[in-house]
Amino acid sequence: MTPIPTDGAQLLQLARWIGMPEPLRARHAPLFRREFSIAAHIRSARLAICGLGCHEAFINGQRVGDHVLDPAQTDYDIRTFFVMHDVTRLLRPGANTLGVMLGDGWFNQDLVWRRDMSYGTPRLIATLEVHLKDGSRFTLITDEDWRCARGPITSNNLYAGENYDARLEQIGWNENGFDTAKPRHASQWFASEIVPPPGGRLEEQTIPPMKTIEEIRPRTIHEPQPGYRVVDMGQNFSGWARIRVTAPAGTCIRLRFAEALFENGMVDTASTGVFATGVEQIDTYICKGGGPEETWEPGFTYHGFRYIEIVGWPGPLPANAVTGIVVHTALATAGAFTCPDERLNQLQRMALWTHRSNLHGFPEDCPARERCGWLGDAHLVCDYSFYTFSGAAFWEKYLGDIETTRHLNGGLPLMIAPGRRSGGAASPDWMVALILIPWSHYVFYGNRAILERHWDGMLAVMAHLESLSVDGLLPHGLGDWFDPGVSAQPRYTPPVLTSTLLFGQCARIMAEAAALLGHQQEARRHARLVDAIRAALHKTHYNRADHTFGSQTADAMALQLGFAPPGEEQAIADSLACDARDTHALHVTTGIMGIRYLFEALTRHGHGDVALALMHQDSYPSFGDLIRRGATTLWEYWGEAEVDARHGARSLNHPMFAGYGNWFFNTLAGIRPDPGHPGFKRFFLEPHPVPGLQWVNAHHDCPHGRIVSNWKNESGKFSWEVTVPQGTVALARLPWTGESLELAAGGHKIVRTAP
């Protein structure tokens, strides 16, 4: 008797990979169908499926699940994800039909960057297992008995968009009774062919899927030139547009997506990366006509945009004819922050919109141009991600992506994970992602296995950093990318400073992780390395007379990473505040690394007024300047025209600057994990009220429940309401006095006199 498979991978061992004969596909998204009969009543049924590059499945004409763009991208020659669905309610005794449509996705992305980006043509493997009430079992697998045809999607590419010809729809193709042998279908449907597997192992997708998250209505619609309608969605985001139209057959409607407008009101696609990708984000829909209103949205692409140029629309364009569909990985929300200062609320929204716009199975750099998982961008935003989303599985998957790049690169990470673009060998300050992210994951979620799983990779990265170091300093790296200036390369902070500070941070993490995992010799060695790095920094880069390492970024990082000379912390913070307030007239000089720590360093050392003033600055370089220029998400840079002219227009939805968002949670609200008691088993509550901010309401959903920190500072009274989850304890520290309290699980209200 054949043993019953217990998991999806075992189920799929029964099946074959199938595809459509390539000369017949002609770039169309192929359709696959199989009719079958179930002889008895159904107790349960599950479908294990992997359609590459991405798939939509149907049973008896009904969509299976609510996922989009499944499965998430991986390095397919190392591992490929399959998806499990409970399909019990979609099946019935008697005749049934399973249909699948395949898109190119990342698997067959051969239009942008290089032709060899493709792993092959679309292919499918699936097993349907049905347990019947009579105790028997029915199994359907993909094999050469499946039929295939061209679908109405005539081409699709994640960068360039989707073309859909509704006249080519075959009504009922995924339902019972659709006879592929009938004369009108026989010339369109063919036998599937057995194709090679993608090469990697099959793993079940355990991260939350991508979904359509919410809908956005247009803010305005205008017609800057005859026949060109421009829709402003009012928000930069990732996803696509849904249209509703009534038009004659053959009417071609073109949607072109952009983040910006020219002065004449026409869309400007430059920031979406045309200079780099050679393509624009364009969807086309050809109407089938002859009936009621047609509703369409793409299924195998996504865009980063705020504006849509629509050409070919028949007659007036009503506002309800276009809907923005927000699409990203469906992570549960894990945190929120509000206060009476609308600028701070706006900057929190911008960081959040930017981050969520770049969650598509991995943390990407932008949703329009590159769509790559750059390691540096990821490690700078991961803590903010942990504060705002329940991302344990998502970030575990990304760490797995980094590990597969190690396999492909002889043991060290590549700049980008996953995918064939790779970006080459990772620079030291990007490579540290394989140390920083596992540690942050462990601290936030308390899963020691994450450190055990990645320990070898962490050791490999650390050994490489040591091999590059010279007398305790790490002179290599991209540095404080996109600080104010005319290029991406840092102007204010030498890369040796940022790289060495990260080197020191990694050495400290390795010492703590080694001790935790029982590698005592490694723990002692890395502790000595921390001391050596600190001594080298102080000897070569610290100006004791002026109490500075020479820049806002270097001072902020030294303070927050624990590399300030002992006893000099407040003096460095005072110097930092003076530099921001006086030398640079309340402007930042930081790039993506410094912005991660600047506001925390100022506020925690008594200069919250300077931090708040920087947030309220409206002239260049500042976040306020970007807002004044229409930003609803964070840009890749500070908006310099010289950068656009030299290097091509930059992305307007780029999360690498979003690290400042930690400040809202770990400093203003004061919610911080304790690395000694990971997963918030014990945690710190230490809010830092700043002058002019009357109250803060914030929460974070940790593994044990919701932590709440709501405070008011009004009329000489500080009132603080706290919630501590069951099974945890909070170490609270009150502002001004430094009074410490140990708070047990439950709700607490603390009232003190404020200065």
**HSE-CB of 71 using CA atoms within 13 angstroms:** 28
Q: What residues contact residue 148 under an 8 Å CB cut-off, 6+ apart? A: 18, 19, 20, 30, 31, 32, 33, 189, 190, 191, 192
**Integer Cα distance of 94 and 102 in angstroms:** 27
Query: Are β-strands 193-194 and 189-191 bridged in parallel, bridged antiparallel, or unpaired?
Result: unpaired
Contact 483, 636 (CB under 8 A): no
State yes or no: is 512 an active-site residue. Answer: no
Contact 248, 329 (CB under 8 A): no
* Token representation of residue 373: 């998982």
Catalytic one among 35, 129, 364, 370? 370
Match 């089938």 to its residue by tokens. 288
Exposed / middle / buried, residue 389 (Cβ in 10 Å: 0-12, 13-18, 19+): buried
Q: Which of 100, 73, 95, 74 is nearest to 85 (CA)?
A: 100
State yes or no: is 263 an active-site residue. Answer: no
**Integer Cα distance of 491 and 628 in angstroms:** 24
* Helices 375-388 and 342-356, axial angle in degrees (round to 10): 120
Answer left, alpha or beta for residue 273, where phi above 0 means left and psi between -120 and 50 means alpha.
left
Contact 374, 365 (CB under 8 A): yes
* Token representation of residue 384: 């903010």
* Token representation of residue 375: 């390691």
Contact 570, 576 (CB under 8 A): no
Query: What ranges make up the beta strands (E) of 192-347?
Result: 193-194, 201-204, 210-216, 220-225, 228-245, 252-258, 260-261, 267-268, 282-286, 294-296, 303-311, 322-329, 335-338
Q: What residues contact residue 409 under an 8 Å CB cut-off, 6+ apart? A: 422, 425
**Integer Cα distance of 523 and 88 in angstroms:** 52
| Distances from the Cα of 483 to the Cα of 270, 583, 593, angstroms | 21, 16, 9
**Integer Cα distance of 226 and 687 in angstroms:** 56
Contact 667, 560 (CB under 8 A): no
**Integer Cα distance of 536 and 538 in angstroms:** 5
Contact 436, 505 (CB under 8 A): yes
Q: Looking at the annotation, which residues are catalytic?
A: 370, 636
